Structure 1
């Protein structure tokens, strides 16, 4: 199944000059994301930084909006507030930010600048200087935001798993703490045996855009404890559910997977925003605000969901089920029966489960936050997107699934977000509570980010 999430919206008249520079830079950044190695919360932060730099550069050419770092101190005279100056300032800002975040991808960013008629080595115009000044202030702020970007995003908390690695290809034998997260050892898409560590266990400490992501996360209730009836019930639901997967459910699991070499869940929602921009014929002023709010909402969603993940360090289904069903034969997807201690989720074998704790679902949190912003920005929870998945295109069951083409349709942004969350249960990646509590968390985080973004562009921040 294609790694890039394609979506078709109702036909609209073509934009005469193609996508504006905000969309162009979003597209360029997603290309870097797909060829890079950053995980979802790190990608969300990168998107937020680039689009915050673009917004702050644009704000200097608006009569009311204020920048996130320098307020209104960069504001240019009314005579300079032209579309051309806005576009140039945005491009210099976005280029600086993108090159800082993805330095190995700079050739692509330079190529876009050349296509737009700008030379990043010669920022001689006032618009260029304004964009660079706005962006540098954002980059300086983010140098000390808790992400440890300058240290390669390495953990700063001293986290160590309580469980030894579990070899996916072999049977589970013992776990020190069956309710806690365990690393997995498997063969990745490059053919190498890997045991990925917990991705960015310090991420809950990153400074959020709204300033409220951590406090919202800390109000999330605890997951079911190991040994409880709820813990056993949620595992049984995954076992029975994955054993009875329909073609449509399998397609949903794979379409939303957004694993390695994809734009990841935060980028997936940027693709949807690009389509909304085209559908609603957005101008530059609209898109700079839309992507600013959207990107910061998914950054905060990553911070909040990782805070919860670290708080509870909860077991993934692959280890919980193997432990609970040791010595039993159980039905599973593909019409097979397997030893319980060898159960695997409906995922590609080269990425059987993402390397971080189960509770809460990042997919659910990212998607609910993004949907909240999109429906608030557009003024309605109306999407109308769809994608067609070709028969036999599965990467889990290639040539077999689906048996015929499957069309996924989402009337609303909320429906798309709910399906993204549900997909992780179909895929055997998350339990029900991890999905549902993630959706609730995402809506709260998205609302807080939206309110903060709106305060900036209305000059109230």
Structure 2
């Protein structure tokens, strides 16, 4: 959903900008909003972009209107100036955004809740139902509670407020969302996960167990950082932050930024659709189900139901926990493929193609004692540095293996899927701004 919102906002901004460019085509009106060359000024572009962003953000996050109003005021702009019936930059930006928004209200995401019986925004309307009953994470899981090994299983756990929750499969309808560049959600669908009973199935579980036993503080810091750290960031927004770094590094003007973020946001949007196509199609179990099934009754070293906070100890395999907070042990959707891997590989592909180089040279620091999974860690500041965009994408993917919430195959398949989606989305975006779409 976050990737979709970013796509809507940046597409609206791009369409508004395109009206003040001599060549670019908008995604909705194509060249029909184009203004005379004498109006193609930086000031007009900036105003149109801002009004487009304002209208799109209001649709996506209506409760934050006061924040958006304050930002417009700080820019010296008045939202009331948009009349929708004149050719001012204010009007062009608003018209462009409203067209994008109108289409997205019927793109299959169920933003308005009109497709589902519950009427809730983004609620599933496909009739998806898990083949396993919910697993009570707080206690060992008997084999009888996993009647369909290999298939996704909902989890029951206490959230950060102490409430017992059982999240359903998030965004089960996402393969039905209309994409930006993909022809279909399954255009690049990867092969299946390891089959239950196969040697690969058992080996991937043993490997994950061994990885967690050998985690270093640096790997633990990677795991928390890419999981959102203390801010709860999601992959698509992380990569937009990285693009902001690139913009400052390379001295972008509005023209360059509008194109970069248009391509990047739509690549992450399509990456989400492609990843969720695989997740829903294969309906594959997460490691917590596989390890509790395979190692049921076996004495192993690992994290128990309380999670990393209590450290590694000897437990029954039926109680195994990933390296995640006990209040959110695993995201509520299938393993195959990794969303982090897909989003990140797609983003890296766009940034590499847009800048003409894989060079990134960016770093973030995880402060000593700032981790939530194991309070007090890391012992010292940990700096995560990425020489290339590819390095950052690879680290995002492997962090989910360190965290025990994805198998290796889900990561590698996600990386491959993301690269294909990113290349396709970038080419499509470039067709728009070069006027050949």
Q: TM-score if structure 1 supplies the norm length?
A: 0.89
Q: Give yes or no for contact 1:216–1:445 (8 Å, CA) kept in 2.
A: no
Offset at 1:397? 0.6
1:257 aligns with: 227
Which of 95, 98, 102 is the equivalent residue of 1:133?
Answer: 95
1:269 aligns with: 239
Offset at 1:392? 2.1
Q: Give yes or no for contact 2:159–2:328 (8 Å, CA) kept in 1.
A: yes
1:170 aligns with: 139
2:292 aligns with: 322
Question: Please, what is the CA RMSD of the aligned residues?
Answer: 1.3
The 1:98/1:260 distance shift into structure 2, 3 A limit, reads farther
Which of 314, 324, 333 is the equivalent residue of 1:347?
Answer: 324
The 1:422/1:378 distance shift into structure 2, 3 A limit, reads same
Structure 1 segments (4+ residues) deviating >4 Å: none
Which of 403, 409, 424 is the equivalent residue of 1:427?
Answer: 403
- 2:351 counterpart of 1:374: yes
Question: In structure 2, the residue corresponding to 1:121 is in which secondary structure?
Answer: helix
1:221 aligns with: 191
In the aligned structure 2, how far is the partner of 1:211 from the partner of 1:255?
A: 30
Offset at 1:259? 7.4
2:116 aligns with: none
In the aligned structure 1, how far is the partner of 2:361 from the partner of 2:245?
A: 10
Q: Tell me, which stretches of 5 or more residues in structure 1 are unaligned?
A: 1-41
2:417 aligns with: 441
In the aligned structure 2, how far is the partner of 1:434 from the partner of 1:451?
A: 26
1:193 aligns with: 164
Q: Give CA deviations for 1:233-279 in whole Å, capped at 9, x if unaligned.
A: 11111111111111111111111012795231110101101111111
Which of 375, 380, 385 is the equivalent residue of 1:404?
Answer: 380
Q: Give CA deviations for 1:332-356 in whole Å, capped at 9, x if unaligned.
A: 2634222111111111111110000
Q: Give yes or no for contact 2:186–2:277 (8 Å, CA) kept in 1.
A: no
Q: Give CA deviations for 1:27-64 in whole Å, capped at 9, x if unaligned.
A: xxxxxxxxxxxxxxx10000000000000000000000
1:142 aligns with: 104
Between 444-453 and 111-120, the greater mean CA deviation after superposition = 111-120
Q: Give CA deviations for 1:1-38 in whole Å, capped at 9, x if unaligned.
A: xxxxxxxxxxxxxxxxxxxxxxxxxxxxxxxxxxxxxx
1:92 aligns with: 51
- 2:32 counterpart of 1:52: no
In the aligned structure 1, how far is the partner of 2:160 from the partner of 2:9?
A: 29
Offset at 1:178? 1.3
Between 421-430 and 97-106, the greater mean CA deviation after superposition = 97-106
Q: Give yes or no for contact 2:33–2:92 (8 Å, CA) kept in 1.
A: yes
Q: Give yes or no for contact 1:240–1:332 (8 Å, CA) kept in 2.
A: no
2:118 aligns with: none
Offset at 1:296? 0.2
Between 125-134 and 348-357, the greater mean CA deviation after superposition = 125-134
- 2:426 counterpart of 1:450: yes
Offset at 1:459? 0.1
Q: Tell me, which stretches of 5 or more residues in structure 2 are unaligned?
A: 114-120, 304-310
Q: Superposition pairs for residues 11-90 of structure 1, below 5 Å?
A: 42-90=1-49
Question: In structure 2, the residue corresponding to 1:331 is in which secondary structure?
Answer: strand
2:269 aligns with: 299
Question: In structure 1, the residue corresponding to 2:54 is in which secondary structure?
Answer: helix
Offset at 1:213? 5.3
In the aligned structure 1, how far is the partner of 2:302 from the partner of 2:358?
A: 37
Q: Give CA deviations for 1:158-211 in whole Å, capped at 9, x if unaligned.
A: 001111111111111121201111111111122221111100101011111003
Between 253-262 and 103-112, the greater mean CA deviation after superposition = 253-262
The higher-RCO structure (CA 8 Å, 6+ apart) is 1
2:302 aligns with: 332
In the aligned structure 1, how far is the partner of 2:99 from the partner of 2:380?
A: 52
Q: Give CA deviations for 1:89-115 in whole Å, capped at 9, x if unaligned.
A: 111111111110111111111111111
Which of 201, 204, 211 is the equivalent residue of 1:234?
Answer: 204
Q: TM-score if structure 2 supplies the norm length?
A: 0.94
Question: In structure 2, the residue corresponding to 1:209 is in which secondary structure?
Answer: coil
Question: In structure 1, the residue corresponding to 2:23 is in which secondary structure?
Answer: coil
Name the count of aligned residue pairs: 418
Q: Superposition pairs for residues 206-217 of structure 1, below 5 Å?
A: 206-212=177-183, 214-217=185-188
